[in-house]
Every structure is written in C-alpha cells, then in structure tokens.
Structure 1
Amino acid sequence: MTEKTIGILVTGHSPAELAETYGNYADMFARLLGGFDFAFKRYFVVDGEFPASPRDADGWLLTGSKFGVYEDHDWIRQLEGFIRQVHAEKVPMVGICFGHQVMAKALGGHVEKFKGGWSAGPVSYKRSDLDEEQVLLAWHQDQVLRVPDGAEVVGKTDFCENAVIRYGDWGLSYQPHPEFSPRFFEGLAEARKSAIPEPLFERVKKVDVPIATDRIAREIGEFLSRDR
C-alpha cells in the first residue's frame, strides 16, 4: 500500500506549560496514528497557515481548539470554506472536538454553547454502528445541536446527543478527544480548571479508568487509509 499523506489542520495551541512534554496537538495525532503508514503535513490554520488545495493531502484531520466555531475570526470562516472544498473534492476528513463542530457548521449544521454546561473527563459513548460503548476523554461545553442534512449520528451520550457523526464515505467526526492521554488530560484540566465548575474539576482531575484510545486510533487510521 502506498504511503498516504495526512494534512493536520491545527486549530488551537496546547497549553504552553504542557507543550514541552506532550508537544502540540498535531504531535498528539501523529503519535495516535503512528501504527499506520502515514506521512503528516501540519498546517497551523489557527495562525492563518492554510493548504493551497484540498488535494495537498490524501486525507485531512481537524484538531480541537479553545475557540468556538461561532466566534468571529477570519481563520474560522476560511476554514469553513476549505472544509466545503474538501467535501466537494471528496478527500476524506476526520474532525475532533472543535474539528467535529466546525465540520458540522460548515456543511449546514448548528453549533452553540450548550445550556446544560460542560462535559469533561472520562465519558462512555454509545456507538450504534458498532453496538458497543467506548470510554473517551471529553473537554467541551459547545455541542453540535443540529447535524447537516445527510449526516448520520452514530455515537451519543444522554448529555451529548450528536457525539460521533459519519458523513457517508467522506467524513467522520468525534466530540471527545482520542488523542489525549490520561496524563495530558490531567495537565490540561489543571491548566484550565478556572474554565469549569470546581466540583467537576474535582471529579475529573485524576483519570483512573481505561480509555478506548487504541480502538479509535484504529478506526480513524483505517478510515483515512481506505482507497476510494
């Protein structure tokens, strides 16, 4: 099988106090997918660095971010346009957290700050397409509240109804963070604990349950590897 190039569209920066140990979000995805024959190109779209064409990579991956997709930033609007181009060209795309949300918004869905509050820490997601539950690490208040026409919700919780979305053979997106290790998550929670209610921080500051990292890494890698 020919090596595929995956373009990582980096939509946020990891906390500076964690970057030396864990790297940036692109580094985390490169580690997550290290078992596949991929070469990676990194584009820091959060800083205005964009690919020239949807064909600059064989597949695309959108990272998480501290920003909301509804915020008025030029790079977010440019990113939405690029997602629509990638969709039109049928180059496969995977989105995580902010990436999950911006894919939905770009294609006609609706995202907003969820009135029910935060989801953080280990969360069990019900997967209708796999008939199983998967524990993954969540860190979000924004949610996809309406999915685009033609998209299929295949993962959910009682708190987050649209947590995993499939876009036919083209796209796949997840609200939780398979790229976060338990130790990175604990550091992130400490660095940004002022963003979440203190009782929630106390519940999630230590991750001591198994996470379905390998299962999701395989799913993402196989999705991006598939010949279309």
Structure 2
Amino acid sequence: MPRLLIVKTGDSFADVVRDHGDFEDLFLAAITPVAEASPGLGVSVHDARTEGVPPMPSADDGILITGSHAMVSEAEPWSEALKPWLVEARERQVAMLGVCYGHQLMATAFGGDSGYHPRGREVGTRRLRLTEAGRGDPLLGRLATPFPAQLTHAQSVLAAPPGAEVLADNDHDPFQALRYGPRQWSVQFHPEFSAPVMRAYLAHQRDALEAQGEDPEALLAAVSDTRGAGELLARFAEHVLAAASLAPA
C-alpha cells in the first residue's frame, strides 16, 4: 500500500498554530479527503528536526516537505542530513513535493543554490505565471495562467539545479516552481495556506514589509482565495495513488 510521508521542517507562529494548525496540520487537512476516499493510502508525519532522517520510502510512496521559519542557507545539521536522503529518494523515483523551505531544500540538494533574495521578502497573494513546461505539467498544468498563490519567504532558489525544468515564475522570482524528474516537484508558494492564514502572516511581517518599502495594508486588502493553487497537495496525493494503481473510482 502506498503512503504519504509529510516531512516537517518547522513550526508556524504560535497564534497561527492555535487558530489554524501547524504546517503539517494544514498539509493533512488538504490531503485528508483523498486519504478518506482511498483507505489504502497511509499518511504519516516525521519531524526531521527531532527524529532525524526518515526511513527511505518505497517507489510507490510519496514525500511532502513542509515550510519552515528556518533558512536553508543556515545549513542546520538536521537539514543538511536530509539532502543525501532526498538525492537517494529521487534516484529511487519516489514522488516528492517540496513547499517553500522544502522547495529551497530540494533545489539545493539537487545541485542548485538558495539564499536571501536581493529584493527582499515576497509576502501575500501574488500572481504567478506558468511556463510552457508548466502548462504541460501533470501536476501544475491544470492551473490557469497567471494564477494567484499565497507566498511568504525571504529566501528563494537563486539558481536552479542542472536539468531542472522551470514550471512557474513571476517578476520577483524566476523559480517559483521546479520539476527535477518525472515525479519530483517543488514550489515556492504555500498551497496549504488559506486566506486567513495569509492575513495572519502579513500581520506578523508588517514591520519588515514597511522597512522594504511595501504597504502592508494594501497587501492585506489584496489577499484572496487561491483555490486552484490550494488543490496542489490533493493532486499530488492522487498522483501517488494513480501511480500505485489504487486511485479511487
């Protein structure tokens, strides 16, 4: 039976956890309908910060990597230990989807580079464009282009790994979504974030945004639903099921 392994790489703000759930809770909420429709799909959470490197999944399984308030460039030991694990998982053709921190970690593990964006933070509901490769992608290709997505990040992928396909971009970041192989993706945006979660993040980052010349009130007013992007985690779960020939009827 296939399983989805959620690799937890950080905690959200205390008020976000209280009111909406932590990163892994938001992931679980997104994929629970797929899991409930397919009892053969197992789902588990592994905190890489406290539990070490997870056991290697099988080729029928899927890996989801959460966001974090940590920075990939800080090279914390638990984070660095995940890099060879991710390389081996890709060699075994395990399906993977990294989000925000997971996006930057995967890109770095596979030979790219991540670090602080020279133009500062990107926060709020932003519009992203699918590239030609993105429009034909089995995971992202159903999205309209441009499409709205929730973003909050100070670091970005600064150089994509050799051979990676760019699936989405915008004027701030040329690597908003990447594909590293037939079943390995990562995205800078947060498909698990609702509009209320995005507003809570903007409230926390008001001072930092003002310091870089942005208007937090305008960003708050522009927050909107991102249902299309929000379906990405469920589509990934469906992809894992379909690959294992256990998709629900």
- TM-score of the superposed pair, with normalisation by structure 2: 0.83
Report the residue type matching 1:219 in the other structure.
R
Residues 57 and 196 from structure 1, CA distance in 2 versus in 1: closer, same or farther, beyond 3 angstroms? farther
Q: Following TM superposition, by how much is the alpha carbon of 1:188 offset from its aligned partner in structure 2, in angstroms?
A: 2.2
Matched residues in 2 for 1:57 and 1:168: separation?
Answer: 15
- Equivalent position of 1:153 in the other structure: 166
Matched residues in 2 for 1:27 and 1:161: separation?
Answer: 29
Q: Following TM superposition, by how much is the alpha carbon of 1:153 offset from its aligned partner in structure 2, in angstroms?
A: 0.2
Q: Please, which moves more after superposition, 41-50 or 194-203?
A: 194-203
Match status 1:36 vs 2:34 = yes
- Equivalent position of 1:226 in the other structure: 242
Unaligned stretches of 5+ residues in structure 1: none
Matched residues in 2 for 1:46 and 1:206: separation?
Answer: 35
- Equivalent position of 1:55 in the other structure: 58
Q: Does the CA contact (< 8 Å) of 2:107 and 2:161 recur in 1? A: yes
Match status 1:132 vs 2:145 = yes
Q: Does the CA contact (< 8 Å) of 2:57 and 2:89 recur in 1? A: yes
Match status 1:209 vs 2:227 = no
- Equivalent position of 1:105 in the other structure: 108
Matched residues in 1 for 2:6 and 2:234: separation?
Answer: 17
Q: Following TM superposition, by how much is the alpha carbon of 1:214 offset from its aligned partner in structure 2, in angstroms?
A: 4.4
Spell out, residue by residue over 1:22-80, the C-alpha distance to the aligned partner (whole angstroms, 9 max, x if none).
Answer: 22111101111223134311011133443122339811000111111110311111111
Q: Please, which moves more after superposition, 138-147 or 40-49?
A: 40-49
Q: Please, which moves more after superposition, 178-187 or 99-108?
A: 178-187
Matched residues in 1 for 2:94 and 2:78: separation?
Answer: 21
Percent identical across equivalent pairs? 25
Q: Following TM superposition, by how much is the alpha carbon of 1:83 offset from its aligned partner in structure 2, in angstroms?
A: 0.9
Residues 72 and 154 from structure 1, CA distance in 2 versus in 1: closer, same or farther, beyond 3 angstroms? closer
Q: Does the CA contact (< 8 Å) of 1:126 and 1:155 recur in 2? A: yes
- Equivalent position of 2:210 in the other structure: 197
SS in structure 1 at match of 2:34 = coil
- TM-score of the superposed pair, with normalisation by structure 1: 0.90
Report the residue type matching 1:14 in the other structure.
S
Residues 166 and 133 from structure 1, CA distance in 2 versus in 1: closer, same or farther, beyond 3 angstroms? same
Q: In the TM superposition, what are the counterparts of 1:51-90 in structure 2 within 5 Å?
A: 51-55=54-58, 58-90=61-93
Q: Does the CA contact (< 8 Å) of 1:186 and 1:207 recur in 2? A: no
Unaligned stretches of 5+ residues in structure 2: 36-40, 136-143, 245-249
Q: Please, which moves more after superposition, 214-223 or 168-177?
A: 214-223
- Equivalent position of 2:14 in the other structure: 16
- Equivalent position of 2:139 in the other structure: none
SS in structure 1 at match of 2:12 = coil
Q: Does the CA contact (< 8 Å) of 1:157 and 1:163 recur in 2? A: yes
Q: Does the CA contact (< 8 Å) of 1:54 and 1:85 recur in 2? A: no
Report the residue type matching 1:36 in the other structure.
V
